[in-house]
């Protein structure tokens, strides 16, 4: 029998306002990222959306308001510091209001129009992440 993989689990939010999507830049490697993060050990019984809200508040500040929609897609990324793979589930979200105040985890952000989401693989933590993001944005482009 093959050895089973052990993963950490993370939840991320792909926020949009109209046809623009919030994309962050990671402080540590200057790679593209989304707000959200890993589930804490003591959050096993906490609803996933509440965990995602906690993470988004930590990374974007308490001033913004938004709704969380359904999960959109998943991908894996390797966490260099932890030496462990992470499975990420990306939820859709709708920005409502408020000023974004980035935490130290991200150095910048931008709102990118859905048709302008064209980034090379080296801007992502993994090829799988790049493929998943680009595939999702391609479906939006086709709906224009």
Q: What pTM, to 2 d.p., does this model score?
A: 0.94
Tokens 């359904």 belong to 70
Cβ proximity of 52 and 59 under 8 Å: no
pLDDT in tens, 95-134: 999 999 999 999 999 999 999 998 899 999 999 999 999 9
Query: Domain 8-142 is classified in which CATH homologous superfamily?
Result: Nucleoside Triphosphate Pyrophosphohydrolase (3.90.79.10)
Question: Can you point out the beta strands (E) in 5-138?
Answer: 8-17, 20-26, 32-33, 36-38, 65-79, 84-97, 106-113
pLDDT in single tens digits along all 144 residues of the chain: 899 999 999 999 999 999 999 999 999 999 999 999 999 999 999 999 999 999 999 999 999 999 999 999 999 999 888 899 999 999 999 999 999 999 999 999 999 999 999 889 999 999 999 999 999 999 886 665
């Amino acid at each position: 029998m093959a050895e089973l993989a052990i993963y950490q689990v993370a939840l991320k939010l792909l926020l949009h306002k109209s046809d623009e999507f919030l994309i962050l830049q990671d402080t540590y490697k200057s790679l593209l990222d989304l707000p959200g993060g890993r589930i804490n050990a003591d959050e096993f019984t906490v609803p996933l959306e509440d965990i995602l809200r906690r993470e988004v508040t930590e990374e974007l500040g308490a001033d913004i308001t938004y709704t969380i929609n359904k999960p959109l897609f998943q991908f894996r990324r390797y966490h260099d510091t932890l030496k462990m793979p992470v499975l990420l589930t990306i939820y859709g979200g709708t920005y409502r209001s408020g000023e974004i105040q980035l935490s130290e985890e991200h150095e910048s952000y931008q709102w990118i129009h859905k048709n302008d989401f064209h980034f090379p693989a080296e801007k992502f933590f993994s090829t799988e992440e790049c493929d998943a993001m680009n595939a999702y944005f391609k479906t939006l482009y086709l709906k224009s």
